[in-house]
Structure 1
Amino acid sequence: MFLHQIAALGGRPILAAIIGNDAAGDLLISELERMCVSTGTIVRTSEVLTTTKTRVLAGHQHAPKNQVIRIDHEPSGSIPNGVRNEYLSLVRTAIEDADAVIFSDYGYGAADEHIFEFCREATANRSVPLIVDSRFRLSVFRGAFSATPNQEEAEAAIGGPINDESCKELLKKFGHRALLVTCGGRGMRLYEADKQCKVIPAIGSTEPVDVTGAGDTVIAAFALGLASGLDVADAASIANHAGGIVVMKKRTAVASADELAASLDREAARAFHRP
């Protein structure tokens, strides 16, 4: 999802991944190419299954459809060494051309500690920001430039409710330069070393239409901002605007560059007219 968002905002996304030699893999490659995502660094093998998520919608013929169940088909077992070595080689190729790197871990085995350490060292050598997105193992991937957990993920890593003190401690523990915590309708909280917490209010309505893909939009816009040379606070602000746009759209959606520019212009106009 964040790959589509990067492309929609004018970036050139490059995906390093492992997928199956199956029908779902064929469909995925076709969709990625349609979205202008580079697929030259994807390993395809018959030794793994392409992760597939089927959403079942229900509703009246002329009424909005709601998701009632999701059926997931996921790979199981470890990734063979030969496949992993090929994958590592392609990760190296992808990073060589990158202005920012998103390390996305959904627990399927490809984004493991070994791959992370390689990414961390390679991005540090080139002074390229590495941003971590991990659903279950945020505490494992330390020393990146930043991470963008949602409130639930941050609380799981902390072991309790988030507050300024606990998030500052988490930032120090992880060794990141910044921690951007998304808090749904309450916006975001940005933590940087030696700086006060920056509270970023939600943009637009605090009652979203659909939050599907909002986290991916945030990390995509945040990474693009950093890749363009923006400081952390400005990149987070842009990500907040992008997230505010997509949550007002039904199902998986992206924010266009024109929509993002218009949202930023409206915010600037409001700030200009404040007494």
Structure 2
Amino acid sequence: MKIKKSFLHQTFAKLSKTKVLVIGDLILDEYLIGSVERISPEAPVPVVWVRSEKHTLGGSGNVVQNLTSIGVNGIVFGRIGLDRAGEQLESILMTNSVTKEDLVLLKSKTIPTILKTRVIASHQQVCRVDREEIVPLQPNEEKEILIQLREKIKECEAVILSDYDKGYLTPSLIQSVISLCNAEKKIVTVDPQVSHFFLYQNIHIMTPNHHEAGKALGKKLQTDADIESACREIADKITPDAMMITRGEKGMSIYERKSDVFYHIPTVAKEVFDVTGAGDTVITTYTAFVASGMSIKEAALVSNVSAGIVVGKLGAATVTQSEIEEALRILGYLDEAA
């Protein structure tokens, strides 16, 4: 399959006029970067001499970053704490990704902002420290979120549920959001959690990896036949327009339910440096390109290429329009004929 260069550029032009609402678990990623020259005298562990640090958006925040990177405007719904990490997360969102009007944050006095600290030395992750309290939203909080969502959803073409199972996307909120999307005729896509797997009823597409899909079904998924059987079984239960299962080094598989057609797209990653955020890139680029007029198969191809780009970068990275076009050209997926 090839994508015409002229059509790709037309789609790029539409991206800037496309708005996608992201709702889910916001995470602040902290990176402490340094070098190791000795082992601690206190315990047999390396001493990391920190030379720099950075903070980036993780969880659903990385989905928003990916939207911004490809030129799509985002609306953000999520929860943070009234703490320094929350201030940093909100600042990064407002500086790089969304306007104040499109940032709908529940600020909790009791639940801290989720903070994941990664210690990096010589391009290797030495350890990760997680600081989080997983507490579901209260009914009154869900009610307020839905009131705000009913207004903001009118401004967007698609909605992404970015579910990290950290308490924001409760079962009742998931079902209410999907019902609202269907009523407003908005594309709704889901990056799922196994614990909520069969709650995502009547969506456009769900994008689990093969481990998540296998765990939800209680079986290992290894061959193309396994994947196809799993897609059909899941689709029979949640009735989406399509199913996508990402498969690591084997690429991804897409199932269009109504036409009962499968596409198996091989991986395009040349070198895997860090898989952090690859799933975010897949659902972001897929959703944005479908919302801008691409077919399921075309958007899946773009999302696969995009994931292949970001796994060659450190941390929860993003991809740009120029990188996508260049990768499609190099891989032979771009038809450059007039």
TM-score calculated relative to the size of structure 2: 0.74
1:198 alignment partner, one of 259, 263, 287: 263
Deviation (angstroms), 1:272: 8.2
Q: Residues 4 and 37 of structure 1 are in contact (CA less than 8 Å); yes or no, is this contact kept in structure 2?
A: no
Is 35-44 or 75-84 further displaced after alignment? 75-84
Gaps of 5+ in 2: 1-61
Gaps of 5+ in 1: none
Task: Give the CA RMSD over aligned residues.
Answer: 2.0
Q: Residues 79 and 107 of structure 2 are in contact (CA less than 8 Å); yes or no, is this contact kept in structure 1?
A: yes
Aligned 1:100-179 pairs, distance under 5 A: 100-136=158-194, 137-162=196-221, 163=226, 164-179=228-243
CA distance in 2, matches of 1:102, 1:34: 21
2:108 alignment partner, one of 45, 70, 76: 45
Tell me the residue number matched to 1:261.
325
CA distance in 2, matches of 1:269, 1:150: 23
Secondary structure of residue in 1 paired with 2:322: helix
- Structure showing the higher strand proportion among its residues: 2
Secondary structure of residue in 2 paired with 1:96: helix
Deviation (angstroms), 1:7: 0.5
CA distance in 2, matches of 1:159, 1:268: 38
Tell me the residue number matched to 1:73.
131
Secondary structure of residue in 1 paired with 2:74: coil
Deviation (angstroms), 1:76: 3.8
CA distance in 1, matches of 2:318, 2:135: 33
Secondary structure of residue in 1 paired with 2:103: coil
Deviation (angstroms), 1:81: 3.6
Secondary structure of residue in 1 paired with 2:202: coil
Tell me the residue number matched to 2:82.
21
- Say yes or no: does 1:246 pair with 2:307: no
Instruction: Check 1:78–1:2 CA distance in 2 against 1; reply closer, same or farther (3 A cut).
Output: closer
Secondary structure of residue in 1 paired with 2:75: coil
Secondary structure of residue in 2 paired with 1:161: coil
Deviation (angstroms), 1:269: 6.4
- Say yes or no: does 1:5 pair with 2:61: no
Aligned length: 267
CA distance in 1, matches of 2:248, 2:231: 17
- Say yes or no: does 1:223 pair with 2:283: no
Tell me the residue number matched to 2:275.
211
Secondary structure of residue in 2 paired with 1:234: helix
Identity %: 29
Work out which structure has the larger RCO, using CA pairs closer than 8 Å and 6 or more positions apart in sequence. Answer: 2
The one-letter code of the counterpart of 1:32 is L
Deviation (angstroms), 1:125: 2.1
CA distance in 2, matches of 1:272, 1:224: 22
Tell me the residue number matched to 2:29.
none
- Say yes or no: does 1:54 pair with 2:117: yes
